[in-house]
């Protein structure tokens, strides 16, 4: 499960758990996730942790900026899970 479509679906599911009132299909895919979903640093950490567990990959803090937007996060996951 490492295609971009699979990663988009997984990221969408994890984001929906954090911000259930937001439709993932309505987000700006290049916009800042934290601003788009109005999530704080703890929610962002929960997202990173959930993705790390879901795909059994380490996501070091130095990589957090690579998860800044929906598109960037999908590209990061495709790269790391492949």
Give the contacts of 76 (CB within 8 A, at least 6 positions apart): 63, 66, 67
More confident residue, 66 or 1: 66
- Reply yes or no on domain 4-81 having CATH 3.20.20.70: no
Dihedral, 39, 26, 51, 30 alpha carbons, nearest 10: -80
- Domain spans of the chain, in order of start: 4-81
Does 64 have pLDDT greater than 70?
yes
pLDDT at 1: 53
> What would the pLDDT profile of 13-55 be if each residue is shown by its tens digit?
999 998 888 787 888 999 998 888 888 999 999 999 999 999 9
pLDDT at 82: 79
Q: What is the rounded CA–CA span in Å between residue 16 and residue 28?
A: 15
Instruction: Report the predicted TM-score, pTM, of the whole model to 2 decimal places.
Output: 0.91
For 32, phi then psi, to 5°, come to -65, 125
């Amino acid at each position: 499960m490492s295609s971009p479509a699979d990663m988009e679906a997984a990221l969408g599911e994890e984001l929906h758990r954090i911000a259930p009132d937001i439709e993932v299909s309505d987000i700006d895919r290049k916009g800042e996730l934290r601003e788009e979903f109005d999530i704080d640093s703890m929610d962002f950490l929960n997202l990173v942790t959930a993705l790390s567990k879901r795909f059994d990959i380490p996501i070091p803090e130095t990589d957090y900026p690579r998860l800044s937007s929906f598109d960037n996060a999908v590209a990061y996951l495709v790269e790391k899970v492949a």
